[in-house]
Structures are given as structure tokens and as C-alpha cells.
Amino acid sequence: MSRSIMTLLVILLLGITACSSAESVAPTATAVPPTISPTEPPPPTTTPEPVNPLVGAWHLVSWHLQNAAGETFQPFGSDPIGLIMYDELGNISLHVAQRDRPPFTSDNLGEASSTEKVAGFDTYLAGFGTYEFDETDGIVRQTLMGSTFPNWVNIVQVRYVTFEGDTMTLVSEEMAGGVVQTLVWQR
């Protein structure tokens, strides 16, 4: 018998003896803490679920595309801004923009000129949806429910993911025109 169980039994016996010898004190039950049970073994220790390294907010460091000829270009310039967020429930939100986008002439979105609308579209990419992460193969499959580029909605996009410290790199499969995009993110 373990030492803590023996101690508990002695305390219980002393409590019962003290209560039965004192006439003015009503007998009371001594409660056993719920974490200590003399008849049940302790619960098995469990290994915590692995932490999904994607989960969290990531800030864009760089974004470039490379075509089949090996030429590299940066769609939003050399210093784009962006944020991608993955949550524990499998949701994703992605925003990438050209830094220092010019404001529209009016604060009323409905009054934007066609030129302003085109410039706004050409300098901003966003989407939201769900993802599945295969950590063993280093693949994240993203399915967007909404995007500024409607052709990406309801399409499973495969990204190869690597982590180095607080940096995450996402590389696409070959896209239209043989283009592969690489996005580098930092926590």
C-alpha cells in the first residue's frame, strides 16, 4: 500500500474515533478529495495532440512568381505587405497588397472611377476559406470560399510548406502558364 493511501486511512480512522468519543459533536463523513481514490489507479498520462505549426498569424516577407523559362517577377513590387492566418478549426484568411496603394479620390466606394477600381484590383489579393494540413508530407490544401480572384473559389490549391524557425515558405504547384509562386511569411 502506498504511503499516501496509508496516511489517508489513518486520518479517516482518527476522524471516526474522535467523532464517536465526543458526545456533543455529530458524526461527519470525511470527504476524500476527488483526485485521490484508494480503489482506482491514477488516470493514464496522455500525450498531447501535436501542435499545428501553421496556426497563427503570419506577415508577408516576400512574394515572387517564376515562369517556365525561369524568369522571376514580383506582382506587387519588391516590398509587398500581407497577412495570412490559419486557425485550429481549419479556417484560412489571406491578404496580400502592394505597399503604398494610392487612395481613391472619394471616400465613397460607390463613387470610385473605373480606373481606380482596376488599380485597386490590380494591387490587392484576398481570400478566405478552409485548409487541411498534412504535416508528414509538408502539404497544405487550401479551398477558398471567397476571393478577389473568383477563379480560385472552390478549387483545392496545393501548397508545399516548409518551416525554419519563425519563417514559413509556401510554394505552389505549377499554375497556368507554368508559373510557380513562392510566398515567405514570418510570425
pLDDT in tens, 35-75: 555 677 666 666 666 689 999 999 999 999 999 999 999 99
Domains delineated in the chain: 1-46 (no CATH), 56-186 (2.40.128.280)
Planar angle of CA 160, 162, 164, nearest 5 degrees: 165
| Local structure of 115: helix, strand or coil | helix
Per residue in 18-37, pLDDT tens?
A: 444 444 445 555 555 555 55
Which residue from 54, 96, 51, 49 is spatially nearest to 187, judged by alpha carbons? 54
Give the chain's mean pLDDT: 85
**111, pLDDT greater than 70:** yes
Residues near 143 by beta carbon (within 8 Å), at least 6 away in sequence: 129, 130, 131, 154, 155, 156, 157
Question: What number of helices (H) and strands (E) belong to the chain?
Answer: 2, 9
Contact assessment for residue 103 and residue 128, using Cβ atoms and an 8 Å cutoff:
no
- Output the pTM of the full model: 0.71
Which residue from 166, 161, 153, 142 is spatially nearest to 90, judged by alpha carbons? 142
